[in-house]
Structure 1
Amino acid sequence: MAKTASAFAIGLLFGLGLLVSGMANPAKVLAFLDVTGRWDPSLALVMASALVVSAIGYRLARRRGRPLLAPRLEIPNRRDLDPKLVAGAAVFGIGWALAGLCPGPALTILTVVPAPAATFVAAMVAGMLLFRRVPSAAAKPTAPQGADA
């Protein structure tokens, strides 16, 4: 129960933060991305703040040895760039630049003003379903890094 309640509280706080910061306002996001026009750098402060909070959280969790509500701390250790990661980042960036939304803010404004976000969320869900149909690179055996083929 505590895990569910904390997940709800954190999600609610995150959504409110997206609304208050302007990250859920497509016009503000597009102004941030328009570095050659009327650039609005204010979202850079939001992103920098998020990085600081995240870094502090990871540091505290590492020092403690495990998170408060999970059995172990899971930090990604992969450092390689595979084609699916690059393609996913490109699709994310293109979608963000075209719509001024990414998944978190889209779901946030879907609860406040559903009409503008509905198309984006439908396309996002379709993309997630399509991704599940693409064979995973993890399913294919690969040679260990540094091994000669």
Structure 2
Amino acid sequence: MNRRTLAALAAGALFGAGLALSGMTDPRRILGFLDVTGEFDPRLLFVLGGAVLTSSALFPRVLRRSRPLLAPRFNLPTRTAVDRPLFAGAALFGAGWGLAGYCPGPALVGLGIGAPEALWFVPAMLAGMAVQRWQSRR
């Protein structure tokens, strides 16, 4: 196994451990955050705030490097326009997140720990990804 694969596995494991430690693999916690008129649970706000603060502080510092540690160059997005596919994808993502309480990262962690909701969510997510890939090739 090469260094890039090991680094990706380590980053994924760290991300999954952070999700599990913060309780963000529990869809009820996410749905509680989205339920602003009922039993609101603000913990997701603190997790997101920590991520934004960390990224804001470290991302500019990383970009000052000439290249990443394990890649020949940075692969940064070049498109900045908000177009119909982006808006539709964001709306679908948000609707799915609001209905199920899962997004891809926590769903995969949930699948790894055998959460019943993840057993139906992950196949549906993969099917949606396959449809999108098929659609974009047409």
Q: Is contact 1:31-1:38 (8 Å) kept?
A: yes
Aligned length: 137
- SS of 1:134's equivalent? helix
Q: Is contact 1:15-1:104 (8 Å) kept?
A: yes
| RMSD (CA atoms) | 1.5
Q: Which runs of 5+ in 2 are unaligned?
A: none
Residues 1:10 and 2:8 aligned together: no
| Greater C-alpha radius of gyration | 1
After superposition, the Cα gap between the structure-2 partners of 1:99 and 1:113, relative to the gap in structure 1 and judged at 3 Å, is: same
The offset of 1:56, in angstroms, is 3.2
User: What is the alpha-carbon distance in structure 2 between the residues aligned to residue 103 and residue 135 of structure 1?
Assistant: 20
User: What is the alpha-carbon distance in structure 1 between the residues aligned to residue 53 and residue 79 of structure 2?
Assistant: 22
Residues 1:112 and 2:113 aligned together: yes
The offset of 1:77, in angstroms, is 3.0
One-letter amino acid of the structure 2 residue matched with residue 122 of structure 1: P
The match for 2:134 is 133
Deviations 1:86-120 (A, max 9, x none): 11101100000000000000000101024321110
The match for 2:72 is 71
TM-score (norm 1): 0.85
The match for 1:145 is none
Deviations 1:60-89 (A, max 9, x none): 221112111111112223221111111110
User: What is the alpha-carbon distance in structure 1 between the residues aligned to residue 58 and residue 124 of structure 2?
Assistant: 32
More moved, 110-119 vs 30-39: 110-119
The match for 1:55 is 56
Residues 1:82 and 2:83 aligned together: yes
Residues 1:35 and 2:42 aligned together: no
Structure 1 segments, 4+ long, off by >4 Å, are: none
User: What is the alpha-carbon distance in structure 2 between the residues aligned to residue 30 and residue 105 of structure 1?
Assistant: 13
User: What is the alpha-carbon distance in structure 2 between the residues aligned to residue 46 and residue 29 of structure 1?
Assistant: 11
One-letter amino acid of the structure 2 residue matched with residue 98 of structure 1: L
